[in-house]
């Protein structure tokens, strides 16, 4: 996968947790981890974490270096984990 690629259902791990548990797990994400983020178009695209604060995560969303910042209130609805079996 390359930055900005649209994820397929096989690429993306859906949350099977309550929002509170998922947010606790999301706190384990670190700078340079990959994830899928939901774009304004509704598509899920492959991105890398550039900066993580307690209240927001900034992602690089494409090879041009464009970024998108998600505040904590949007983490549960707008971030999904990468399926490691499909990301190779």
Render pLDDT for 21-71 as a digit per residue (tens, 0 to 9).
878 878 889 999 999 999 999 999 999 999 999 999 999 999 999 999 999
Predicted confidence at residue 27, as pLDDT, reads 84
What is the rounded CA–CA span in Å between residue 47 and residue 44? 9
What is the rounded CA–CA span in Å between residue 43 and residue 62? 14
Q: What is the CA radius of gyration of the chain?
A: 12
What is the rounded CA–CA span in Å between residue 25 and residue 17? 10
- Which residues touch 62 (CB under 8 Å, ≥6 apart)? 3, 4, 45
């Amino acid at each position: 996968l390359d930055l900005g690629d649209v994820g397929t259902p096989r690429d993306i791990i859906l949350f099977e947790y309550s929002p509170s548990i998922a947010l606790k797990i999301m706190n384990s994400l670190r700078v340079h981890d990959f994830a899928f983020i939901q774009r304004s178009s509704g598509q899920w695209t492959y991105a890398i974490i550039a900066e993580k604060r307690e209240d927001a995560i900034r992602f690089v969303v494409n090879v041009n270096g464009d970024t998108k910042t998600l505040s904590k209130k949007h983490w549960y609805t707008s971030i999904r984990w990468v399926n490691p079996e499909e990301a190779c």
